[in-house]
Amino acid sequence: MAIRLDKAIIRGEITNQIPGLVTGRIWLVGQPDPLVLHLQGNCLRDLAGCHLSFENPQPRPDPAVAIVANQQNGVVGDMTSSRKSRIPTVSHEELLDYLEAQLPIPTRVANTLYLEWFSELNGRMVLETADCHLRISLPDWSMSAEEENLQSRVSQGNFHAYLDSITGGPDADDDDDEEEFEEEDDDDFSSLDDPELEDSETDASHLIASQGPDDASHIEVNIEAEDEVPLDEFQWEQELREADRRAEAYQEAFDRYREHPHRERLIAEAMGWEPEEVEEFRDDWQDVTESLQAQDPDEMLENAGMFTEDEEGAHHPLSRRAMDFALRLQRDAKTRGLFDGDIARDHPVLSVIVSIIALGGKLAAALDGTMHGYDPEPGFVIAMLKRAQVPLNEALHALSSIQLTGLPRDTRQWLIAARSELFDLRKDILDLMSDLRK
- Transcribe 25-43 into DSSP letters: EEEETT-SS-EEEEEES--
Instruction: Specify the higher pLDDT residue, 203 or 76.
Output: 76
**Of all helices (H) and strands (E), which one includes residue 106?**
strand 105-119
State residue 286's pLDDT score. 55
- At 341, is the pLDDT very low, low, confident or very high (cuts 50, 70, 90)? low
Of 48, 56, 123, give the one whose Cα is nearest residue 80: 48
Q: Distance of CA 429 to CAs 37, 217, 318, 349, Å?
A: 48, 18, 8, 22
Across 171-187, average pLDDT: 44
Question: Which is nearest to 15 in space by CA: 104, 103, 115, 124?
Answer: 115
Q: Residue 20: pLDDT above 90?
A: yes
Residue 215 pLDDT grade (very low, low, confident, very high; cuts 50, 70, 90)? very low
Nearest-angstrom CA–CA distance, 266 and 272: 10
Domain limits of the chain? 3-198, 210-291, 297-437
Give just the sign of the alpha carbon dihedral 239, 244, 249, 255. positive
* 71: β partners: 36
Q: What is the pLDDT of residue 291?
A: 44
pLDDT, tens digit, for every residue of 105-126? 888 888 899 999 999 999 999 9
CA triple 401-340-359, angle to 5 deg: 50
Percent of the chain with pLDDT over 70: 75
